[in-house]
């Protein structure tokens, strides 16, 4: 949430007093009404009011705030736009939120070396829009890209539909400026060459705010592809759609994106403002994009459409121009928003299974959700085997919420049992920290905890996230569950 007008603070709190003295009245809030808006991120299943919210406008201000909080022993939660879906930006009890949204300057664009220096509060889509004049783009494109920040993307190692071809955030960040838990400022990586020595840049990417606060980065830019072809292939069964994906991947062709949406997702989209003309009678649709030079796009596109037809795709919708391409993507990118019509709350899960196990996983998800009598719909990055089982529910209904959590737990365990893992892109946060022992042994968890202590000896950075507090020796009771 942007925050530009002065807000009342709780001046009785000595930490707030020091923060106001260092950053100014307009950069700190501790009044009940303001704090209410920060109780959770996109994972509304858990809520906790912060002790204060801080809006720094420079790396130096982040550092000054962190030094004060460190001296008082106040836990710190970094926050970008709060679109995270695993509770990474959910406040911790008695903790401060440091919100990076005012740090949204694009500081430098170097078209020759194809890179840009950006503050971490820059909104993902704004960067691609800004560099389009140079024929360049920033590749990672989470579906939340019109709202989420580059800092949140770094912290979650965010993906997106086109990361199937271009890779997730970690492949696109050259260096980071970071404020550590004691307020010291450090640089990780280098824009000029691959790092020598320990690669702390990639260690930091995906660390979910537990190792420090990223304030600036040099990021890699890619040339915009010469041409793009996009089409939508409807299938009579989810099984056929998944088999078509496996066959496309096995053929060695590299599409830019391959997304699947199921019938329930299509129904929600078509009844919403995101309506994109998807066929209501399909059991599943495959949204495919191929980009590059005209000759390869023409050749690969034809081969992929051939494979889709082989698996029974009928009436393939082809985007004939940029407007039609935008329309086809509008439904996919607005899918989570469209679910708002189904119920007041949505639990967006994120799990991975081997691609060949997608049909089995989807059958199991429907069976689990039916058994718990909760409403499920699925939309996912099929090329990566990255599932997003969505469960629509009403958070005011305690019994339904309990059933949603129980179904979620079974889904996670089922994906791991199929050879998959806990998250493809949304991170672990507080949603899945208790499941870490399902995929890591005691030795690995111990190594993680030691590493975390090396960056943050006092356990103040986003405690309780990623690892269960008990495994990290963190501040007890940091997060109520
Ligand atoms: C509709 C919708 C669609 C989505 N689609 C995708 C998708 O396609 N792919 C995908 O990967 N994700 C997706 N997400 C999830 C989410 O948008 C991403 O995880 C995104 O990267 C979060 O960015 P944010 O700025 O909102 O971060 P926040 O939610 O504010 O924070 C996320 C985590 O990052 C930490 N953090 C934030 N800023 C910093 C910083 N500067 N330094 C250190 N730590 C920091 C926080 O502590 C927290 O742990 C989607 C979410 C929604 C609501």
- The pLDDT tens digits for 35-49 are 999 999 999 999 999
Nearest ligand 1 atom, CA 178: 42
Task: Using a pLDDT cut of 90, give the percent of the chain over it.
Answer: 91
- The pLDDT tens digits for 387-440 are 999 999 999 999 999 999 999 999 999 999 999 999 999 999 999 999 999 999
Looking at residues 217-227, what average pLDDT do you find? 96
The Cβ of residue 34 has, within 10 Å, a number of other Cβ atoms equal to: 18
pLDDT at 366 (0 to 100): 96
- The pLDDT tens digits for 242-257 are 999 999 999 999 999 9
Ligand 1 pocket at CB < 6 A:
41-42, 77-85, 88-89, 100, 120, 142-144, 148-149, 151-153, 155-156, 158-160, 208-209, 213-214, 336, 425-426, 462, 465
Q: What's the gap in Å between 244 CA and the centre of ligand 1? A: 31
Report which protein residue has its CA nearest ligand 1's atom 19.
84
Question: Best mutation site among 40, 53, 84 for ligand 1, i.e. most ligand atoms within 8 A of its Cβ?
Answer: 84
Nearest ligand 1 atom, CA 212: 43
pLDDT at 195 (0 to 100): 73
- The residues near 313 (Cβ < 8 Å, ≥ 6 apart) are 233, 234, 235, 240, 244, 286, 305
Q: What's the gap in Å between 84 CA and the centre of ligand 1? A: 4
Q: What's the gap in Å between 418 CA and the centre of ligand 1? A: 27
Looking at residues 2-25, what average pLDDT do you find? 78
Q: What's the gap in Å between 83 CA and the centre of ligand 1? A: 5
pLDDT at 14 (0 to 100): 95
172 pLDDT band (50/70/90 cuts)?
Answer: very high
Name the pTM for this structure: 0.93
Looking at residues 368-380, what average pLDDT do you find? 97
Q: What's the gap in Å between 82 CA and the centre of ligand 1? A: 7
Looking at residues 342-355, what average pLDDT do you find? 94
Looking at residues 138-142, what average pLDDT do you find? 96
CA distance 352 to 425: 9
Q: What's the gap in Å between 328 CA and the centre of ligand 1? A: 24
- The pLDDT tens digits for 439-470 are 999 999 999 999 999 999 999 999 999 997 66
Read off the tokens for 418. 């199929």
Q: Select from 156, 158, 157 the least CA-distant residue to 145.
A: 158
Report which protein residue has its CA nearest ligand 1's atom 15.
84
Q: What's the gap in Å between 313 CA and the centre of ligand 1? A: 35
pLDDT at 100 (0 to 100): 98
pLDDT over 50 (residue 86) = yes
Q: What's the gap in Å between 43 CA and the centre of ligand 1? A: 11
pLDDT at 196 (0 to 100): 82
Looking at residues 189-204, what average pLDDT do you find? 89
Looking at every residue in the chain, the average pLDDT score rounds to 93
pLDDT at 480 (0 to 100): 37
pLDDT at 193 (0 to 100): 76
pLDDT over 70 (residue 473) = no
Report which protein residue has its CA nearest ligand 1's atom 28.
82
pLDDT at 17 (0 to 100): 96
Question: Best mutation site among 149, 156, 330 for ligand 1, i.e. most ligand atoms within 8 A of its Cβ?
Answer: 156
pLDDT over 60 (residue 8) = no
pLDDT over 60 (residue 1) = no
Q: Are strands 136-137 and 389-393 parallel, antiparallel or unpaired?
A: unpaired
* Domains defined along the chain, listed by start: 106-140+148-156+169-223 (3.30.465.10), 227-337 (3.30.70.3450), 343-417 (3.30.70.2740)
Beta strands in 239-385 (DSSP E): 257-262, 284-292, 317-318, 345-348, 351-352, 375-381
Reported as half-sphere exposure (CB side, CA atoms, 13 A), residue 47 has a value of 9
């Amino acid at each position: 949430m942007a925050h530009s007008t002065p807000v009342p603070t709780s001046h009785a709190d000595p930490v707030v007093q020091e923060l106001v003295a260092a950053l100014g009245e307009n950069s700190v809030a501790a009044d009940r009404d303001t704090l209410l808006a920060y109780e959770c991120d996109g994972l509304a299943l858990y809520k906790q009011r912060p002790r204060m919210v801080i809006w720094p406008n420079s790396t130096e201000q982040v550092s000054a705030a962190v030094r004060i909080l460190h001296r008082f022993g106040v836990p710190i939660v970094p926050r970008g736009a709060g679109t995270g879906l695993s509770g990474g930006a959910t406040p911790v009890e008695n903790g401060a939120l440091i919100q990076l949204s005012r740090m949204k300057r694009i500081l430098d664009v170097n078209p020759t070396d194809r890179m840009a220096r950006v503050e971490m509060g820059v909104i993902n889509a704004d960067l691609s829009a800004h560099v389009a004049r140079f024929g360049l783009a920033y590749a990672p494109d989470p579906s939340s890209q019109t709202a989420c920040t580059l800092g949140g993307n770094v912290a979650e190692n965010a993906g997106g539909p086109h990361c199937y071809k271009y890779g997730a955030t970690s492949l696109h960040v050259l260096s980071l400026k970071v404020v550590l838990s004691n307020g010291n400022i450090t640089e990780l990586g280098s824009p000029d060459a691959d790092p020598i020595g320990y690669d702390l840049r990639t260690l930091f990417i995906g660390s979910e705010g537990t190792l420090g606060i990223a304030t600036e980065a040099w990021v890699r830019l890619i040339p915009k592809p010469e041409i793009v072809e996009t089409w939508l292939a409807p299938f009579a069964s989810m099984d056929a759609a998944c088999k078509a994906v496996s066959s496309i991947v096995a053929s060695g062709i590299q599409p830019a994106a391959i997304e699947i949406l199921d019938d329930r997702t299509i129904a929600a989209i078509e009844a919403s403002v995101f309506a994109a003309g998807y066929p209501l009678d399909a059991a599943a649709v495959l949204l495919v994009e191929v980009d590059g030079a005209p000759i390869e796009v023409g050749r690969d596109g034809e081969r992929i459409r051939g494979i889709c037809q082989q698996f029974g795709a009928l009436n393939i919708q082809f985007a004939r121009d940029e407007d039609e391409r935008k329309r086809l993507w509008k439904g996919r990118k607005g899918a989570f928003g469209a679910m708002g019509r189904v119920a007041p709350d949505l639990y967006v899960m994120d799990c991975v299974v081997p691609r060949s196990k997608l049909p089995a996983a989807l059958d199991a998800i429907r069976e689990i959700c039916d058994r718990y009598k909760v409403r499920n719909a699925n939309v996912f990055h099929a090329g990566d085997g990255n599932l997003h089982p969505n469960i629509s529910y009403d958070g005011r209904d305690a019994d339904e919420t309990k059933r949603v959590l129980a179904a979620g737990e079974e889904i996670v365990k089922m994906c791991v049992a199929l050879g998959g893992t806990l998250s493809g892109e949304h991170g672990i946060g507080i949603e899945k920290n208790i499941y870490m022992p399902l995929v890591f042994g005691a030795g690995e968890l111990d190594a993680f905890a030691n590493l975390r202590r090396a960056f943050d000896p006092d356990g103040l950075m986003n405690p309780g996230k990623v690892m269960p507090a008990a495994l990290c020796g963190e501040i007890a009771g940091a997060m109520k569950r």
